Amino acid sequence: MPASTLWWIPLLPFTGFLLNGTVGRRLPRNAVTGIALLFTAIPAVLVAWLWSTMLSADAPLVLTAVSRPWIGITGFQVNFAFAVDHLTLILLGVITGVGFLIHLYSAGYMAHEDGYWRFFAYLNLFMFSMLVLVLSSSFLLLFVGWEGVGLASYLLIGFYFKKDAAANSGKKAFVVNRIGDFGFLLAMFLLIAHFGSLDFATVFPAIARSSQHGGFLTAIALLLVVGAAGKSAQIPLYVWLPDAMEGPTPVSALIHAATMVTAGIYMVARAHVLFDRSPFALAVVAIIGAATALFAASIGLVQHDIKRVLAYSTVSQLGYMFLACGVAAYSAAVFHLLTHAFFKALLFLAAGSVIHALSGEQDMRLMGGLRTRIPITFWTMTAGVVAIAGIPPFAGFFSKDEILYQTFSSPNPLGKLLWLVGLVTAGMTSFYMFRLWFKTFFGPERFEARFDEHTLGQPHADAHPGADEHDEAQVASHHGVHESPWGMLGPLVLLGLLSVIGGWVGIPAALGGHNEIEHFLDPVFASTAVAGSALNADNASHATELGLAAISTLVALAGFGTAYLFYYRKPGTAAALARRAPAFYRVIENKFYIDELYSFAIVTPLLAFSRLFLGLFFDKGLVGGFGAGAGAGTRGLSDLTRRIQSGNIRSYAGWLALGAAAVIAVMLFGRSLLLLH
């Protein structure tokens, strides 16, 4: 495949965005769907072609395409330039593959929504930005995609803009992401100041050659971590992601699970040369990752909204990926990124199918017994739940285990502790996912009440807007609950399959595999010899690895067992426990009051300071007062101006001429008058 074809991979979805964005409103829905799907399918085909090219024996390790300059001044230039290596290949595969499936699913899911054209235009805009993000060969062009996905996310979260919650969440997502961008930008400014360039091909070799460890490299790395924490929803900037669930469910699957939120992981992996130079920054990444994983999982334990559970689960899984980056196990991070894209996209889409079946209900307390009502959704979701819980041989097991093993064997002094945190999180993950599974699909059907209510014309407060109207008809004919159409189930089945077998590309040697994905990524991460994780992996005994795998499997099973006990055998247990420690429960249920804390400690004081101190005291008082004072001080002048303020152009012209005459007079006799020799 010629390198120039790379341009078409992002440009086609952009064309789709322009077409649907400008004329989509006037097109029939089929045409809108056709445009959106076509301009996503062709890039997927191109990516497949790219894979086959790059995997041929004589292919270069990096395929580049450079066009004209984007920004160019003396001493600094950034081109429109793409580069594809094996890391990019994996992400391209995920983005176009999973992306296409989700487009397909959306055609069914959104079929009856207003603003159908808008939805698909934004979705294509997202694809464009995400593809630019992974294809770019410089930090600045990466930042273009980075901001672009943020914009698409803003637009899609706020898709139901008439709802205040949706509009607020969209804004929150954008602004919190901007806090991350603040760090990213500063990192880029420092890179320019030190290396005069933002091209990966210039900066990374220069860093590798640099004799310096730590110092400003640590500063740059930490600033990049701020950016990554914003995009990948890590502590302390994770708060936007749970709220992002206000968007339509396919959006949650595509943007807030499979692709966009992994951009931070991608960026850290991409800049691994820099991070390898700064053990401190790496340690920070590892600690943030482990802390986020544990913290988010603990909130996920007690959420009632099915999408919120999945959202906190996403934050937690992203924490795992961060942790992997932090122990310099970048290929393990990318491996988990890959499997997570499969099973989390699946889980969201399946949750969407459940919500669809229940006409917009998202509260698990009002579900139950859906196993037989929507069997295909049930079975595919089961595949996803087992995969994320980390039970072999499903996808999540291999990638999560790789991370835990790498953490355990990393030279980081905190390695064992971080491993323990990861292990505990794994148990919690298994528990809350099976909790979701049991509450949704087993036990008594708790949704009848809602349907009675619904048929009385009283939609539930949390109802998925827009889904209401078309389900009304189905409520009448099918008694409500119904399986989704095949346009939606097809992607579910495919992703279910991938959630089963997706992990087999990384079966470690200890379990008789070849860990193909790590070898595949070797050309990208091979230079990571500093932390020596790859080396460790080969030398460490297989017994340790097997032992760790056994432990984490047991922990996952324990999570399942507990959930089985709590939510199937003796359904009152969890509530009883919660009653035993009501304060503690309330704190977790309210997500540790972090949003309230931010609002109380940052947002409110900032607004009050701006309004009262800056606005009233400083601007009206001092600045305005200065103006008023100057006015009073020149009262004579202002009297004069009032007199000449006739509003008559001729008199103004006269004054101007008089002034000019005075000036000339001064000039003629000026030398003696001004005495400034």
Partner 1 sequence: MNLDHAILPLILFTPLVGALVLAVLPDRGRTQQWGALAVTLLTFLFTLHLPARFDFSTTHPAFQFETNIAWIASPAIRFHLGADGLSMGLVVLSGLLAPLGVLASWNTIVDRRKTFYVLFLLQQIAMLGVFTALDLFLYYGFWELSLVPMTLLIATFGRTHNRRRAAIKYFLYTFIPSAILLVGVLWLYVRTGTFDMPILARLAEQHSISNNSSALWLASLAFLLAFAVKVPIFPLHGWLADAITEAPTAAVMVLTGKLGLYSILRFSFGIFPEQSRHIAPLMIALGAIGIVYGALLALVQNDLKRFAAFATLGALSFITLGAFSFTISGLDGAIFHIVSESLSGAALFLLLGFLYERYGSYDMRDFGGLAARLPWMVTFFVLMGLSVVGLPMLNNFVGEFLILSGAMKSVFAHHLFWTVVATTGVILSAGYMLSMIQRVFYGDLGFRPAEVDAPDLVVREHLALWPLAATFLLLGLASPGLMRSIDPVGVHLARSLPQPQPAVSGAESTAALTSPATVPSTTDGGQR
Nearer to partner 1, 535 or 664 (CB): 664
Give me the 15-54 binding string for partner 1, x by CB under 8 A, dash otherwise: ----------x-----------------------------
State the nearest-atom distance from the C-beta of 594 to partner 1, in Å.
19
CA separation for the pair 138, 376 (Å, rounded): 44
Chain residues 49-88 in contact with partner 1, contact rule CB under 8 A: 68-76
- Our CA dihedral for 304, 307, 309, 314, rounded to 10 degrees, sits at -170
Is residue 602 involved in binding partner 1 (CB under 8 A)? no
State the nearest-atom distance from the C-beta of 231 to partner 1, in Å.
14
Chain residues 527-586 in contact with partner 1, contact rule CB under 8 A: none
At residue 501, φ and ψ (nearest 5 deg) are -95, -10
State the nearest-atom distance from the C-beta of 30 to partner 1, in Å.
21
Residue among 139, 149, 132, 135 nearest 190 (CA): 139
Sole binder of partner 1 in the list 29, 112, 178, 482 (CB under 8 A): 178
Give me the count of residues in the chain: 677
Query: Is the link from the previous residue into 2 a cis peptide, with omega within 30 of 0?
Result: no
- Our CA dihedral for 601, 604, 608, 614, rounded to 10 degrees, sits at 80
What residues pair up with 73 in beta bridges, in sequence order?
Answer: 76
Chain residues 386-445 in contact with partner 1, contact rule CB under 8 A: none
SS3 403: helix
Region binding partner 1 by CB under 8 A among candidate stretches 59-67, 169-177, 324-332, 540-548: 169-177
Region binding partner 1 by CB under 8 A among candidate stretches 176-184, 362-370, 408-416, 522-530: 176-184
Sole binder of partner 1 in the list 62, 151, 301, 494 (CB under 8 A): 151
Give me the 260-299 binding string for partner 1, x by CB under 8 A, dash otherwise: ----------------------------------------
Sole binder of partner 1 in the list 42, 90, 135, 140 (CB under 8 A): 140
Q: Residue 339 gets which letter from DSSP?
A: H
State the nearest-atom distance from the C-beta of 193 to partner 1, in Å.
5
Give the total of residues touching partner 1 (CB under 8 A): 85
The helix or strand, by DSSP H or E, that contains position 42, with its residue range, turns out to be helix 29-55
Nearer to partner 1, 185 or 530 (CB): 185
State the nearest-atom distance from the C-beta of 136 to partner 1, in Å.
11
Buried b / exposed e along 46-85 (16+ C-beta atoms within 10 A): bbeebbebbeeeeeeebbebeeeeeeeeeeeebbbbbbbb
State the nearest-atom distance from the C-beta of 674 to partner 1, in Å.
6
Chain residues 608-667 in contact with partner 1, contact rule CB under 8 A: 609-611, 614-615, 619, 622-624, 626-627, 630-631, 634, 637-638, 641-642, 645, 647, 649, 652, 656, 659-660, 663-664, 666-667
At residue 81, φ and ψ (nearest 5 deg) are -145, 135
Total Cβ atoms within 10 A of residue 664: 11
CA dist list (Å): 646 to 108, 551, 627: 69, 90, 23
What residues pair up with 64 in beta bridges, in sequence order?
Answer: 83
Chain residues 186-225 in contact with partner 1, contact rule CB under 8 A: 186, 188-190, 192-197, 206, 210, 212, 215-216
